[in-house]
Amino acid sequence: MTVWEQRDLPVLQALAASEDEDVRQGVLDLSNGQPLDLEMGSAEVYDAVLTLSDAGYIEGEIQPVGPHGALVTHFQVTGRGQQALGQWPLFDELASPATLALLLERLAEEA
């Protein structure tokens, strides 16, 4: 199993699907405990957040707290992150006006 499968992908999935109000508002506290209800500690989630940010899958302001903690604010899963999760279409696949219309309708619902 790769680091992507074991650590980074589960964190990205948890960020995108979290029901926690703070996370939904773009605030993630990685200073202690088991954030995102994942079976990994703050240090692992912190490392995943750094990797996901470097890859362009999430955006936000990362403020280190202690040796392996952080407070992440103003974060969001990017379009590239949603593509990695299969939740956002690849623009190469927008081959017809009908497909583009479906995309715009879905975006309008989210706006």
Q: For the segment 78-101, what is each residue's pLDDT rounded down to a tens digit?
A: 989 998 998 876 665 556 777 778
Asked if pLDDT for residue 42 goes beyond 70, the answer is yes
Please, which contacts does 35-39 make with residues 24 or more away whose CB atoms are closer than 8 Å?
Answer: 36/11, 38/10, 38/11, 38/14
Average model confidence (pLDDT) across the chain: 86
10 φ/ψ angles, rounded to the nearest 5 degrees:
-60, -35
Contacts of 87 (CB under 8 A, 6+ apart): 16
> Where does the pLDDT of residue 15 fall: very low under 50, low under 70, confident under 90, or very high at 90 and above?
very high
Asked if pLDDT for residue 102 goes beyond 80, the answer is no
- Predicted confidence at residue 7, as pLDDT, reads 96
> Where does the pLDDT of residue 8 fall: very low under 50, low under 70, confident under 90, or very high at 90 and above?
very high
The whole-number average pLDDT for the span 41-51 is: 91
Q: Reply yes or no on domain 3-110 having CATH 1.10.287.
A: no
Strand order in the sheet with 58-65: 28-29, 69-77, 58-65
Higher pLDDT, 111 or 54: 54
- Predicted confidence at residue 90, as pLDDT, reads 60
**Domain extents for the chain?**
3-110
Question: The tokens of 29 are what?
Answer: 């506290």
